[in-house]
Structures are given as C-alpha cells and as structure tokens.
A and B are shown apart, each in its own frame.
Chain A
Amino acid sequence: MTVRNSLLAILSGQSAHGYALKSTFEDSTAGTWTLNIGQVYTTLDRLERDGLVEGVSSDDPKRRTWQITEAGRKELSGWYEAPVLDDPPARDELAIKVLLAVAADGVDLTDLIQRQREATMEKLQGYTRHKRRADPDEQLPWLLMLDALVLKAEAQLKWLDLCEERLRDRRAR
C-alpha cells in the first residue's frame, strides 16, 4: 500500500518514467527504502489496471511516461486524509524475546537487557552522527527520517529500563 500511494504522490507532482519514480521514491525516503525497478513496473501495471495512472507516449514499459488520473488523485487524497494506524501492531522481535526469556528458566535477563541496551545505544550514536552532518535546509527529509529512527531507538531503551525496573520490583517482593 505504501509503495502504491507513494508512486501516486510522486506522479501528482509531475509525470515520470519508471526509473525516475524509483529514484524519487528512494530520495524521499532518505535511502531507508530501496525499490527494485521490477517492483515499480508491477505496481504501475496494477495502478493502470485500477485506472489510477495512465501510460502515455510508448508501449514499451521502460520508455513509458506515466501520469496520474482523476481517480488516482482521489485515491491519493484519501490516503493523505486517513491517519496511519499500526493495526495490528508490527511484530516486535525484541519484545517477544524478552517475554519468552521472562517465562523461561535460566536466561540471565540482566545480561540480555544490558547487551541490548548497549547495541541499541550504538545505533543511536550512529544516527546522531548522521544528524550532526545533515544540513537542515538541503536534507530535510533525511533529517526527519533520522529523528524518527532516533526516537524509536529511544523508545526501545526506555522500554528496557522499564523491564529492568519491573523485574527488580518483582524480585524485591
């Protein structure tokens, strides 16, 4: 769904070839999401089938320029209007691992949590180094993406703190 709507979003600005769509998509997701060109063409075919885009100028998919239709614009504004709900929530491997470790015998949770904390902090330090170098005017999408990654890592670290506190409380009782 995201790729489909993202291509519509890009085409709403200007008509483009498949390859230009791929690189614009990758630029606007700050390189955190790469598409292969085959995926772009398949998505465009489906969008065309649904009447949301139309190919002009050539029958060869590689040379075709694509433009958004009226129906495509309607679909796109529906996407912008609908809040994003992570529903059902994406699976969280760390949470599942910790829950299983709590239920299991013989797993040293203190060690597990501390190792995870250090690894997540290392990632966070990496994002922060990128943030330092990012130009807030020239690289706004990149900076916003980094902010999102930073806050996710921070949330994970807070959750680890909370796990540790709850485990400590349980031991104290």
Chain B
Amino acid sequence: MGPVTMTLRRGELAAVMGPSGSGKSTLLSLAGALDQPTEGQVLVGGIDLASLRPAVLADLRRRTVGSVFQDFNLLPGLNARENVSLPLELDRVPLHEARAAAEAALGRVGLGDLAHRFPDDLSGGERQRIAIARAFVGTKSLLLADEPTGALDSVTGERIMRLLRELCDAGLSAIVATHNASHAAWCDRVLYLKDGQLAGSPDSVSAAGGA
C-alpha cells in the first residue's frame, strides 16, 4: 500500500472502489487493525496503533470494530440471535444482556421475527442483515464491510446499502469496499484506489455529500 490518508467522521459512510488487487480489502483490514502494516503507521484518533500493547489493541478492536464479508460468515450451528450475541458473550457480557442486545440489533435490521431461524433457512439478504447486526451489536462504532452486496441481486443489495445508510445516520461509521457504483452511491464519500494509492480528489467527492 502507498500512503493513504482517510478521515472517517462519526456517522459517516464511505465507499472504497478500485480494480481487483488495488488494495481495498487491505485498506479495510489496516483501518480496523485486523492486520498490521509491514511499513508505516495506522493512526486512529491521532494514536499510532503499533504503540498500543497487543492486549489493549485486541480489546479495542473487539469492542469497537465489526466486520461484514461477501459470504456472510455466520455459524451454521447457531440461530440468528445466537450468532449476533456470540461476540458479546465472548467478551464476557452477561448472557441476558447479550441476548437483549442481540434482539435489539436484529430488530434494527428488520429481522426481529427471525431470531430463532438458522442461517440455512434464511435468504442471502437476510443472512447479510444478520451479519450486519452481529457487526454492530454492543459498543461497536466502526463497521467494515468488504463487498457486502457481492453475492446478492441488485434489489437485495440496495436494501443492504439502505440499511447501512440508516445505521450511519444514527451514528455508526462504516467503510464499504465495493465494485458496484450504484451501491457506492449510497455513501457520503467515495475513495478510489489504484495500485494501493488513492486516486483522484476525494475532497471534491466528499463535498458532494451522500445519500
């Protein structure tokens, strides 16, 4: 990756576009501290992530960053609610609290009624909404979505973008890597990556505002 400076405000939804291999997934992993740079720094709120003790960093990451992928990554043996509450339970949140938070999150993605369904009995769009609920449940403030609409048809994909838009309007921040321009257009800002570098003038695009 070349030097990439991006600022994500609270409540902002940003898209990262660019050809295959341009570094979209890499940028998302670095931004979410899911991966460390071989060179250079990742500054979050002015703090160099590498200066944090590994345990502190792991804690911070678990509490603040949620991820969503193209293939949903739900555990097939757990129902929707259990999938969503699992990260909280692993974080030693008391069980009844974790469940209540999971149910609230499922309600926000419009799937309150399907809490007991297993992933195999849900459509792709529904699975992705559950994965999104799992990614923001609890105290998370940053959501990283790597091609979250990649496996969905255009109407279902649009529903996912509408949902991300609503969540960000309510205060979440999110970065979405996507190949789909119509989906990127739901974002406040679109960044273009080319060979690991930002292309163009993100500021002029950001000034245009979002959906």
Contact = CB atoms under 8 A, between A and B. Distances in A.
Interface of A: 114-115, 117-118, 121-122, 124-129, 131-132, 150-151, 153-154, 157-158, 161, 164-165
Contacts of B165: 132
Given A125-B211, A128-B186, A114 B162 contact: no
B208 interface: yes
Contacts of A128: 182, 185-186, 211
A124 B182 contact: yes
11 contacts: A115-B200, A121-B184, A124-B182, A124-B185, A127-B185, A129-B210, A131-B211, A151-B182, A153-B182, A154-B180, A154-B182
A149 to B, nearest CB: 11
B199 interface: yes
Nearest to B18: A161
A5 to B, nearest CB: 29
**Which one of A117, A151, A164 has the greatest number of beta carbons of chain B within 10 Å?**
A117
Contacts of B199: 114
B211 A118 contact: no
A81 to B, nearest CB: 28
B181 interface: yes
List 4 A-B pairs, minimum CB-CB distance, nearest first.
Answer: A124-B185, A128-B185, A157-B181, A128-B211
A46 B208 CA distance: 45
A129 B200 CA distance: 23
Given A118-B205, A132-B162, A161-B19, A125 B200 contact: no
A124 B189 CA distance: 12
Given A132-B165, A153-B181, A157-B181, A118 B209 contact: no
Contacts of B190: 118, 121, 125
B5 interface: no
B192 interface: yes
Given A117-B200, A161-B19, A125 B210 contact: yes
B192 A150 contact: no
